Amino acid sequence: MQLQKRKHNKGFSLIELLVSMVVVLALLGVVSTLLSSSLSIRARESRKTDALTSAHAALNIMSREIANSGFGIYEGALTQTAVNGIVFDDSNAGQIHFRANLSNFGDGPINPTCPVMCTNEANEDVTYFFDDETDSIVRFDPNGAPTTSVIVNRISNVTFAYFDYASDGTVTAEPGNALPTTNTGRIRLTVDVTLDPVHGQPDESVRFTSEINLRNSNYMLRQY
């Protein structure tokens, strides 16, 4: 009876063990692939959230400052014609230089000493531009401390489009001008963000756009 019992208690054969190991390894491979894909998606979404939050915050800061361009500056001591405050020779599709006499200190009319003299405080003489070497938006303020600061990094491109409003009501057609003029009353700010590549995920880019009305332009003042 004992001999017969031992014959029925045989273990797994070598072939059965090998088959079991292959099945287990195959299942582990599938689980590993799914886990890796899940982690990649999570990493991508985390980076996307960080990049978009930073870009959106920078867009709000720039829009608010640019909208104040020309505040407290005007032409003619008698006519006091409002100006938009854009420094034309230093503004284009890739950067914008603007002034605003926020404290209303100094001479108001434009003359040889103004707006240079009346915009010599912090936040009154600002230039925004895109630095392609560092993929960042840089803010330059000769009267600020520090004079140069990075608003946001990991940016792919920044463009400015200028829309003029003539006295007869004519508005610059889309997509706008690459250069500003004395009639510029609206600026379109576009920020492109290319997200960091993540293994196993397709490349992705996001675009933010802000329409900025220059509140001190002649066109805007005539609306109120």
Could you give the number of structural domains in the chain? Answer: 1
Q: Is residue 1 part of a domain?
A: no
pLDDT at residue 4 in the model: 55
pLDDT at residue 119 in the model: 92
Q: Is residue 197 part of a domain?
A: yes
Provide the whole-model pTM: 0.77
pLDDT at residue 162 in the model: 97
Q: Is residue 15 part of a domain?
A: no
- In this structure, are residues 108 and 74 in contact, taking their beta carbons and an 8 Å threshold? yes
pLDDT tens-digit map of 135-174: 899 999 999 999 999 988 888 899 999 999 987 778 999 9
pLDDT at residue 210 in the model: 93
pLDDT at residue 148 in the model: 95
pLDDT at residue 87 in the model: 95
Q: Is residue 87 part of a domain?
A: yes
Residues of the chain with pLDDT under 70: 1-12, 34, 36-45, 47, 196-203, 219-224
* Euclidean distance between CA atoms 95 and 7, whole angstroms: 88
**Is the peptide bond prior to 202 cis by the omega test (within 30 degrees of 0)?**
no
pLDDT at residue 214 in the model: 92
pLDDT at residue 86 in the model: 95
Q: Is residue 67 part of a domain?
A: yes
Q: Is residue 7 part of a domain?
A: no
Domain with 141 in it: 41-221
Q: Is residue 149 part of a domain?
A: yes
pLDDT at residue 7 in the model: 54
Q: Is residue 46 part of a domain?
A: yes
Phi, psi angle pair for 61, to nearest 5°: -65, -50
